[in-house]
Amino acid sequence: MRALAIAVLGLLWSLPALAQETKVTLAVLGFTADAKQMLVQLEDDNVGTNLRLYDVATGQPAKKSALIPFQRGESQKVIKETRKKFKIVDPGVEDTLYPLDANDAEKTLSFFGLMATRERFVLAVTDRQKLGKIADVPVRHDDGADVWAKVALKTLYWTTDRKWLVAIVTQKLKAEGLLTEVDEAHALAFHVADIRWVEPEPPKEAKPADADAKKD
Judge whether 151 and 139 are in contact, CB under 8 Å. yes
Q: Could you say which DSSP state residue 206 is in?
A: P
Q: Write the pLDDT tens digit of every residue in 51-109.
A: 999 999 999 999 989 999 998 889 999 999 999 999 999 999 999 999 998 888 889 99
Q: From residue 49, give the alpha-carbon distance in Å to each of 9, 99, 194, 205.
A: 37, 33, 36, 60
When pLDDT is averaged across residues 143-155 and rounded to a whole number, the result is 90
Q: What is the mean pLDDT of residues 34-44?
A: 96
> How many angstroms separate the CA atoms of 88 and 40, rounded?
11
Distances (CA, A) of 48 to 20, 42, 52, 57: 17, 8, 13, 26
How far apart (Å, rounded) are the C-alpha atoms in residues 142 and 52?
28
Q: Where are the domains of the chain?
A: 19-197
> Which three-class secondary structure state does DSSP give residue 138?
strand
pLDDT of amino acid 102: 83
Q: What percent of the chain has pLDDT over 70?
A: 83
Helices within the chain (DSSP H only): 2-14, 75-85, 211-215
**Number of residues written out for the chain:** 216
What burial letters (b/e) apply to 113-139, b meaning 16+ CB within 10 Å?
beeeeeeebbbbbebeeebbbbbebeb
Q: Is 192 helix (H, G, I), strand (E, B) or coil?
A: helix
Within 13 Å of residue 38, how many CA atoms lie on the same side as its CB? 30
Q: Could you tell me which residues come within 8 angstroms of residue 64 by beta carbon, excluding any fewer than 6 positions away?
A: none
The SS3 assignment for 77 reads helix
Q: Which residues have CB under 8 Å from 141's CB, separation 6+?
A: 119, 147, 148, 149, 173
Question: Average pLDDT over the chain, rounded to whole?
Answer: 86
Q: Please check whether residue 114 is in contact with residue 122, taking contact to mean a CB–CB distance below 8 angstroms.
A: yes
The pTM assigned to this predicted structure is: 0.81
pLDDT tens digits, 160-194 = 999 999 999 999 999 877 899 999 999 999 999 99
214, pLDDT greater than 70: no
